[in-house]
Amino acid sequence: MKNRAIEYPHPVLNEYTNDFDNCAFNLSVGSHSDTGNSIDIELSYSLTGSGIQSLISQGLAKVFIRVVCFRTSFRKVFEMSNEDITVISLPKKNVTDSIDISAAIVAAQNINNYCLPEFNQDYFGGYPGFKLRKGDIIANEPGLTIKLNTILEKNMAGVVFINSNSAITEPKVYFASVEETDPSLTDYITISLPDSEYKNYAKLSTKKHLKNVLARFLQGALVFPAITEAIARLRREEELEEDPDCHYRGTIWAESIYNALNKMGIDELATCNQSDFEIANKLLGDVVGDSINTLMQKMIDWSTIQQEDEAL
């Protein structure tokens, strides 16, 4: 489940606050297996912030994953490995449709003088320190939703992950290949946004009064172009006479798309007369039309409330 903008009585590292300088905490999904009676998912986290890392190394803080399936009321917390990939196993009988996964760093014991060098000095400079109780949140991240089929995505938007990257100044997109070895990039399409854009995206996608009307518009702005390019890459891969340097088929994102294409009656992209644009739009359930209509309706609502444009 996505985080809400909760006010904490102490500095917390997340996308809503400026409590920390030049720090980040992110959760990544690696490979999956769907055999037997369980679904196994590889997870890892990245943490930038020497103070929090030191707390974890000393055993004063721990990283946990919370998994929720709202359709079945399944809830479970897993402790993450500090240095390696964490594999969680979920009984198939206990989950259906989708699962929400979120990560948090919490105090493993009472901390009487919680004061880290990466605290925002404009806010906390000269402050003597905070008292943390065991279980208090130190950092959390927006979380993600995986739609299951059981492990393949039913909704094409689910094969695209969106995260922040403080090292970039413009959006980047990465299409995982079967040769990929970086666990944070395997199996999915990853869109990385600069920090400022990601913070705005997070607000738009998590604020209750915004996300219900802007979800499709955000998919149209970010996910739709990525799926369109994904279709183009799969089409080129089919058309190549020589073996390509990287292979997309076999990744979760590619197999999810092919599974959906088969349901649409498309066996091969190389022989399909429909454009990449048209196919991607159909895979996303006419996201173009929904985006335009949703935005127009929202503009009408705003105009009605603020009486800014009588033409609307």
Distance CA 285, CA 141 (A): 29
Distance CA 293, CA 217 (A): 9
> What are the structural domain ranges in the chain?
1-150, 152-312
**What φ, ψ does residue 302 adopt, rounded to 5°?**
-65, -40
CA angle 212, 214, 215 (to 5 degrees): 75
Distance CA 287, CA 273 (A): 20
Handedness of CA 228, 244, 239, 266 (dihedral sign): negative
Question: Is the Cβ–Cβ distance between 39 and 146 less than 8 Å?
Answer: no
Handedness of CA 215, 40, 153, 249 (dihedral sign): positive
Question: Closest Cα partner for 236 from 248, 222, 221?
Answer: 248
- pTM of the predicted model as reported, rounded to 2 decimal places: 0.53
CA 272 and chain centroid, separation: 31
Q: Above pLDDT 90, what percent of the chain? A: 42
More confident residue, 79 or 200: 79
pLDDT category at 185 given cuts 50, 70, 90 is confident
The amino acid sitting at 249 is: R
Distance CA 233, CA 247 (A): 10
Query: Which residues 6+ apart lie within 8 Å of 200 measured at CB?
Result: none
Model pLDDT, residue 252: 84
Model pLDDT, residue 237: 92
pLDDT category at 149 given cuts 50, 70, 90 is low
Q: What's the full length of the chain, in residues?
A: 312
CA angle 51, 52, 56 (to 5 degrees): 120
Query: Which residues 6+ apart lie within 8 Å of 231 measured at CB?
Result: 257, 269, 276, 279, 280, 283
Average pLDDT over residues 142-151: 68
Over residues 17-50, the pLDDT tens digits come to 889 999 999 988 877 776 667 888 889 999 999 9
Average pLDDT over residues 307-311: 46
Computed on alpha carbons and rounded to an integer, the radius of gyration of the chain in Å comes to 21
- The CATH number for 1-150, chosen from 1.20.120.80, 3.40.605.10, 2.60.40.10, 3.65.10.10, is 2.60.40.10
DSSP 156-223: GGGGEEEEE-TT-SS-EEEE--TT---TTTSSSEEEEE-HHHHHHHHHHHH-HHHHHHHHHHHIIIII
Over residues 81-133, the pLDDT tens digits come to 887 789 999 988 888 777 889 999 999 999 998 999 999 888 887 777 899 99
Distance CA 165, CA 142 (A): 14
Report strand pairing: 160-164 vs 189-193: parallel
Over residues 216-253, the pLDDT tens digits come to 788 889 999 999 999 999 999 999 877 777 889 888 88
Report strand pairing: 86-91 vs 38-48: antiparallel
Mean pLDDT of the chain: 83
What is the three-class DSSP state of 190? strand
